[in-house]
Structure 1
Amino acid sequence: MGHREDLLEGAVRCLYEKGYARTTARDIVEASGTNLGSIGYHYGGMANLLNAALERAVENWGMELAGAVLNADAEGLTGAARFETYWQHMIDTVTAHRPVLMATFDAFLQMDRSAEVRKMLVNGMRDARHLWAQVFHGIDPELEPVRADQIGSLYQALISGVLVQVLINADDAPTPQDLTAALRAVAASL
């Protein structure tokens, strides 16, 4: 790896260890084995590097969640069993990824002051919606962009809402079985 990738990986590690707000340039340099000048040279500054690290870490978490759905498929699970297996995995991963997931809230607070952060969040949300539509329902966002946005938006709303509830109080958050029961009740009333 070169300094650019070393910095990015070091910054991701720092997000997990210290969180977004408490990570310093010196922390990243120590974690990456690079030097302070490399941050400006490769990323144009600390904020850009932290934002890139946050984007990478959240993307990695999203791909892990997508893998959980694909693993459920490989196990031959369908319907509610597949849905509940995914949600259990999602809830379980919140603990391991908590510092990075909390860091996303720091990014939300910056988006009104930073066009780059807003762009990162907008693009990340769009990519996530398309990923959920594709992984859960096999919808190709290139061929069916409206349908992918609609279905992906529902999953993203569920993920965001459950995520917040688990971060606030995992013991009081909905279980996968609660989500299945609620989804059935809502679908029956339509």
Structure 2
Amino acid sequence: MGNREDLLAGAKRCLWEKGYARTTVRDITAAAGGVSMAAIGYHFGSREALLNAALIEGMDEWGAEVRGALAESVDPSATPVERYTATWTAMVDSLAERRQLWLASIEALLQAEHAPEVRAGLAHGQQEGRRGMAAWIRGVDESAINEADARTLGSVQMALLSGVMMQWLTDPAHAPTGHEVVAGLRELADRLESQLGPEGGEGQAPPE
């Protein structure tokens, strides 16, 4: 690997082992096999930019792992609901395996409150994440996703993932399974349709 790839690999290792806030430039260069500190500035501009890139790459790797697991386990003849349930089951199962990744993302978010550079990096990652989530759910390439798709389907999927992830980090014994997430979504959709009607207008409220 070149210095850039070595630095990314080292930064990811540090994120998992030390977290975002406690990782120093010296930690990263040591984990990267002794790459010079100056190389961080040359390739990324700053420690924060490198850690952001490492975090986003870690998220991408997580997504690839989940998609790979789904490709191996989901029957091609499965219904859309069955495929979506399998998707959530795979994502929930991966939360425990990738706990440090999600903790690092929360640390980065806290740092962003006082660091515009970190905020900008995370905002860019969220924009890409919305598009990727929408493409994932629709089973299409990201190039087929327009801004409206990203801001609706993608945003809702990311919001769900973030909320479920927080529950798994704080109380894994009582956090929802993939099947429970989908069951909750189906009940919510049924209630909304019964109250608003299929076209989004006011309908009859369901009996209590």
Structure 2: stretches of 5+ with no match in the other structure: 194-208
Q: 1:151 aligns with which of 150, 153, 156?
A: 153
Q: Is the 8 Å Cα contact of residues 58 and 101 (structure 2) preserved in structure 1?
A: yes
Deviation at 1:94, TM superposition (A): 1.4
Residue matched to 1:78? 79
Deviation at 1:68, TM superposition (A): 4.3
Aligned counterparts, 1:1-190, within 5 A: 1-33=1-33, 34-71=35-72, 75-138=76-139, 142=144, 144-189=146-191, 190=193
Deviation at 1:69, TM superposition (A): 4.7
Identity of aligned residues (%): 40
- Paired residues in the alignment total 190
Q: Is the 8 Å Cα contact of residues 84 and 180 (structure 1) preserved in structure 2?
A: yes
Q: Is the 8 Å Cα contact of residues 66 and 91 (structure 2) preserved in structure 1?
A: yes
Q: TM-score, normalised by structure 2?
A: 0.80
Q: Is the 8 Å Cα contact of residues 9 and 32 (structure 1) preserved in structure 2?
A: yes
Matched letter for residue 56 of structure 2:
E
Structure 1: stretches of 5+ with no match in the other structure: none
CA-based RMSD: 2.3
Q: Is the 8 Å Cα contact of residues 111 and 117 (structure 1) preserved in structure 2?
A: yes
- Where 2:20 maps in the other structure, the secondary structure is coil
Q: How far apart are the structure 1 equivalents of 2:74 and 2:130?
A: 19
Q: How far apart are the structure 2 equivalents of 1:52 and 1:83?
A: 29
Q: 1:9 to 1:74 in 2, by over 3 A?
A: farther
Matched letter for residue 150 of structure 1:
T
Q: TM-score, normalised by structure 1?
A: 0.86
Q: Is the 8 Å Cα contact of residues 3 and 39 (structure 2) preserved in structure 1?
A: yes
Q: Is the 8 Å Cα contact of residues 69 and 136 (structure 1) preserved in structure 2?
A: no
